[in-house]
Amino acid sequence: MHRYRSHTCAALRKADAGTTTRLSGWVHRVRDHGGLLFIDLRDHFGITQIVADPDSPAFKTAETVRGEWVIRVDGDVKERSAEAVNPNLPTGEIEIFAREIEVLSRAGELPLPVFGEPDYPEDIRLKYRFLDLRRETLHANIMTRTKIIRDMRNRMEAAGFTEFSTPILTASSPEGARDFLVPSRIHAGEFYALPQAPQQYKQLLMMSGFDR
C-alpha cells in the first residue's frame, strides 16, 4: 500500500463498503458526539468522514487532532445508515472507521478559519492566501478556471492553432504604459523589460512559416 493513501478523499462509494483504505489529508472539522468522534478529512479531491469510537486503537490520537492538522488514516469502509447519509457529499453514503491515525503535521492557531465561508477582511485573506485558497468555494473556483483554460486550449488546438511560450524579458519598447525594468547583472547599467504584449514575437513566428 502507498505510504500515504490508497484512495483520495472523494473516491470511495457504497460499493467499497467492507474494504480497507488509507487516506491522508487536512482535518477539515472535528465533532464529538458523546465520546464518538467524527473527523471530516479533506484533500484536493473532496471530503470523507472518519469515525473513531472509544474501542478503537485510533481513538486516543483522534482526541488530540485539531483543524488543519495533516493526518493519515487506516480504516474500514462502512456503509452509513439511511438516516446518516449526507447527500451533499459524493462520499456521503460511506464512512471510515479508523483503526490507526498518524499525525503527519500539526498546525497552530490559524489567522483565519478554513472551515465555512467567514467574511474576513481582504487584507488578511491576501496576506494568508495559501490558507484562504483552502476554503471550498475558492478551491472550486480555481479548479473551474483551470478547466475553462484547458477547454480553450483544446478548442484552439482542434482549430489548428499552435501555442508558443514567448520570452518574459525583452528589450524595452515603450508604448502606452510605463515599462517594468529589470536590471542586468552581467551588463552594468543595462536593463531588460517585461513585454507589454507578445506582438513582435508573434510576427516573427508568422514570418518563420507558422500558420496560426
Residues 169 and 149 in one domain: no
- The answer as to whether 1 is a domain residue is no
Helices (H) and strands (E) in the chain, counts: 5, 7
Residue 111 CA to residue 127 CA, distance in Å, equals: 10
Residue 198 lies inside a defined structural domain of this protein: yes
Tell me, yes or no, whether 68 and 143 share the same domain: no
CATH of the domain at 54: 2.40.50.140
pLDDT at 174 over 70: no
Which residues are within 8 A (CB) of 47 and not within 5 positions of it... i.e. 6 or more apart?
9, 10, 28, 40, 41, 89, 91
Contact 183, 191 (CB under 8 A): yes
Are residues 178 and 205 located together in one domain of the fold? yes
In the 8-state DSSP scheme, what is residue 170? Answer: B
Same domain, 154 and 172: no
- Whether 198 and 166 have beta carbons less than 8 Å apart is answered as yes
Pull the grid cell for residue 90.
459524493
Contact status, residue 47 vs residue 41, Cβ threshold 8 Å: yes
Distance CA 105, CA 127 (A): 22
Query: Does residue 95 sit in the same domain as residue 147?
Result: no
pLDDT digits (tens, 9 = 90+) for 74-111: 999 999 999 999 999 999 999 999 999 999 999 999 99
State which residues form the domain around 184. 165-212
Q: What is the pLDDT of residue 1?
A: 67
Tens digit of each residue's pLDDT (9 = 90 or more) over 181-208? 888 888 888 888 777 777 788 888 899 9
- In tens, the pLDDT along 140-170 reads 999 999 999 999 999 999 999 998 888 877 7
What is the reported pLDDT for 184?
84
* Residues forming a β-bridge with 95: 78
C-alpha distances in Å from residue 20, one per residue of 34, 38, 58, 92, 97:
26, 18, 15, 17, 9
Contact 50, 39 (CB under 8 A): yes
Cell (9 digits) for 14: 457504497
User: pTM (2 decimals)?
Assistant: 0.79
pLDDT in tens, 36-48: 999 999 999 999 9
Q: Report yes or no: 7 and 22 within 8 Å, Cβ to Cβ.
A: yes
pLDDT at 145 (0 to 100): 96
**Residue whose cell numbers read 498546525:** 107
Domain contains 150:
yes
> What's the alpha-carbon Rg for the chain, to the nearest Å?
25
Look at strands 47-52 and 94-105 and give their pairing: parallel
Q: Is residue 110 part of a domain?
A: no
Helix (H/G/I), strand (E/B), else coil: 197: coil
